């Protein structure tokens, strides 16, 4: 079809087509975006799923312009997005006889209702509950509320683990960046004696990242992830579960020391932060020699994060 200006459907909307190719290229080759200096690569990977929204906008423009070229070009970002994230929409599989149910939550050091938060987490019925930003004033409320159903627990610094099964070998995991000189304890490890064998459970809270004029400030987070990855690599118990606020998505290359060693969720988007309007899942459940079959968020508590619930299939 040709318009009065003489342009056919294949010649119209070249700008939209070019943008579609760019979005598709970023999705397919995001690892090629440099991460030195402002860490543009990590910034892109933090919000990578949202490029699908950009593709939807471009689709609307292509239809408005009646551009065949743009519609064809949009096949690239659609195919790349589907390859990267389409599997996360698969339905949750039925519970298995060897599943381990877990909940991970940054409860916030400003949470005004720790007892209510604890009740909400326990209501999900998990085997393990991992908490971060535990402050001394709130700790007794968590211990009292969770104690009857979760008689085994361990706390190191501001992270804790509550379990229905006995714990052994509890120790601090040092993930503190070198430049932090003050008291700072955000990692623990414990062996969970499950009915299906031992599982080494790690709970961690990695440093926050900041977005500023110089780019994404993630150096401390990346260093902490590297230290945690080294600890997990040295873990002698075969099956490992990592639960924590890692302040990064599983696509963010800053978490490569962890994602290269551990499996991530096979199903579920479960954006967890910020709680008021979640745009990314920075709370994670990962596993070694086990499979994280599904993740989902739980209703909001008094925290700025949403709780994350997951099921882990033990081999």
- Tens of pLDDT, residues 221-270: 999 999 999 999 999 999 999 999 999 999 999 999 999 999 999 999 99
pLDDT above 70: percentage of residues in the chain: 97
pLDDT of residue 5: 52
pLDDT of residue 1: 45
Among 89, 121, 152, the domain boundary falls at: 89
pLDDT band at 115 (very low <50, low <70, confident <90, very high): very high
Rounded CA-CA distance 52/197 in Å is: 41
Kindly state the average pLDDT of the residues 20-38: 95
pLDDT of residue 127: 98
Rounded CA-CA distance 304/53 in Å is: 24
CATH number, domain at 257? 3.60.10.10
Q: Are residues 79 and 124 both part of a single domain?
A: no
pLDDT of residue 133: 98
Rounded CA-CA distance 17/72 in Å is: 8
- Tens of pLDDT, residues 124-155: 999 999 999 999 999 999 999 999 999 999 99
- Tens of pLDDT, residues 185-213: 999 999 999 999 999 999 999 999 988 87
Q: Are residues 172 and 52 both part of a single domain?
A: no
pLDDT of residue 223: 97
pLDDT of residue 27: 97
Which of 3-17, 26-40, 159-173, 178-192 bottoms out in mean pLDDT, i.e. has the lowest?
Answer: 3-17
pLDDT of residue 126: 98
User: Domain residues for 78?
Assistant: 14-89
Q: Are residues 117 and 252 both part of a single domain?
A: yes
Q: Are residues 69 and 180 both part of a single domain?
A: no
Q: Are residues 276 and 182 both part of a single domain?
A: yes
Domain count across the chain:
2
pLDDT of residue 110: 97
pLDDT of residue 7: 60
Tokens coding 278: 């979640």
pLDDT of 61 above 90? yes
pLDDT band at 9 (very low <50, low <70, confident <90, very high): low
pLDDT of residue 65: 86
pLDDT of residue 13: 81
Long-range contacts of 168-171 (CB under 8 A, 24+ apart): 168/193, 169/200
3-state DSSP percent of the chain in helix, strand and coil, to 5? 35, 25, 40
Pairing of strands 291-297, 283-288: unpaired
Among 89, 111, 130, the domain boundary falls at: 89
Model pTM?
A: 0.93
pLDDT of 73 above 80? yes
Q: Are residues 149 and 234 both part of a single domain?
A: yes
**Mean predicted lDDT score pLDDT of the chain:** 95
Nearest to 226 by CA among 196, 241, 204, 251: 204
Tokens coding 93: 């599989």
- Tens of pLDDT, residues 285-297: 999 999 999 999 9
Among 55, 89, 123, the domain boundary falls at: 89
């Amino acid at each position: 079809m040709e318009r009065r200006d003489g342009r056919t459907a294949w010649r119209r909307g070249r700008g939209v087509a070019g943008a579609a190719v760019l979005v598709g290229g970023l999705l397919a080759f995001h690892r090629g975006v440099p991460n030195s200096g402002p860490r543009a690569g990590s910034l892109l990977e933090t919000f990578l799923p949202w490029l699908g929204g950009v593709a939807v906008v471009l689709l609307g423009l292509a239809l408005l312009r009646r551009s065949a070229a743009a519609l064809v070009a949009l096949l690239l970002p659609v195919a790349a997005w589907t390859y990267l994230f389409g599997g996360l929409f698969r339905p949750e599989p039925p519970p298995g006889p060897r599943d381990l149910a877990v909940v991970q939550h940054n409860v916030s050091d400003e949470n005004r209702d720790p007892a209510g938060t604890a009740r909400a987490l326990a209501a999900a019925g998990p085997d393990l509950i991992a908490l971060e930003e535990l402050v001394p004033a709130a700790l007794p409320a968590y211990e009292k509320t969770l104690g009857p159903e979760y008689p085994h627990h361990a706390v190191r610094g501001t992270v804790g683990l509550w379990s229905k099964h006995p714990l052994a070998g509890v120790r601090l995991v040092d993930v503190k960046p070198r430049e932090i000189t003050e008291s700072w304890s955000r990692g623990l490890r414990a062996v969970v004696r499950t009915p299906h064998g031992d599982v080494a459970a790690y709970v961690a809270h990695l440093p926050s990242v900041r977005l500023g004029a110089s780019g994404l400030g993630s150096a401390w987070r990346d260093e902490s992830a590297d230290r945690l990855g080294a600890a997990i690599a040295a873990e002698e118990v075969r099956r490992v579960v990592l639960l924590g606020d890692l302040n990064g998505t599983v696509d963010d290359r800053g978490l490569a020391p962890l994602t290269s060693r551990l499996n991530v969720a096979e199903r579920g988007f479960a954006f967890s932060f910020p709680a008021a309007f979640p745009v990314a899942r920075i709370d994670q459940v990962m596993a070694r020699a086990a499979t994280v079959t599904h993740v989902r968020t739980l209703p909001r508590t008094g925290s700025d994060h949403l709780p994350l619930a997951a099921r882990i299939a033990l081999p």
